[in-house]
Structure 1
């Protein structure tokens, strides 16, 4: 079965079943989440289990998305790009709320599904048309500009061949 129709388009249902493409996008977002933290204001007092800690109504809470996604306890070899972590057979092993590139719970990003589908569709079309490879000027690993809220690459230089 082909992934593309005669017009070069990818069917939505088929795109949603490309598990390795989904795993690559998910692992990329784990390593390089669009935001490094997410902040919330408690709407009511909340007791954190049996820790003896209570978050008071109105208190600001910062969730360190980047730090959580890079903890060895949740992601063995956390600095390595390992898409297989997100394959369907491995997803049950992920600890809930340790993968937060779009936030989590009832306040997660409303555009998450659309954004992921757009990213996968765009990536699939680019991969169908071009082959990418490291060249002499490729930064390995990619150098990042890091600030409190975002991490972005300083530059991305790769070789490209049309297929």
Structure 2
């Protein structure tokens, strides 16, 4: 990886300016985000525009993150892994509040920036040292586990080779 120095270290400033790495992580979080849905409690009565729907104080509202992230209305070919949709020149096409791996607004995940930086750094070091390949035992597509509110996979079997 050319962004690393001779000791295999990567500068924070360099790490924050790797658009394709950002796009790969964003698309991975869209397809396989940590939360299936999030819930909020209405703090006051609120009328939803001209819909005729009113949310009442104390009412629980669930936001179906998985359904939004996999909707053809917001993401063409939603089941395909297309990191290009998150490149800087394409991000403007993403409709606000349709990308929610960490929630959004004032109650989004406070650890989001740290988690993203940690993922970027970990991936950069792993990609520098190893090459991953599909093996005969690799399940395609990945089989997701069904549980309460977090996503997980049944198994991930890959071939791993060290890079020279």
Q: How does the TM-score come out when normalised to structure 2? A: 0.96
TM-superposition CA deviations, 1:82-122 (whole Å, max 9, x none): 00010000000000000000001110000001100100110
2:117 paired residue number = 117
Deviation of 1:56 after TM superposition, in Å, equals 0.8
Unpaired segments ≥5 residues, structure 1: none
Q: Does 1:66 align with 2:70?
A: no
Q: Aligned to 2:152, what secondary structure does the other structure show?
A: strand
- Counterpart in the other structure of 1:87: 87
CA-CA distance at 1:19 after TM superposition: 0.3
Partners of 1:68 and 1:12 in 2: CA distance: 32
* Inter-partner Cα distance in structure 2 for 1:115 and 1:74: 25
Please report the RMSD computed on the Cα atoms of aligned residues, expressed in angstroms. 1.1
Q: Which residue does the alignment assign to 1:13?
A: 13
- Unpaired runs of 5+ residues, structure 2, are none
Write out the 4+ residue segments of structure 1 that deviate beyond 2 Å after TM superposition: none
* SS of aligned partner of 2:156: coil
The normalised TM-score by structure 1 is 0.97
Match of 1:130? 130
Q: Does 1:24 align with 2:42?
A: no
> Structure 1 stretch 149-158 or stretch 4-13: which is displaced more?
4-13
> How many residues are matched?
163
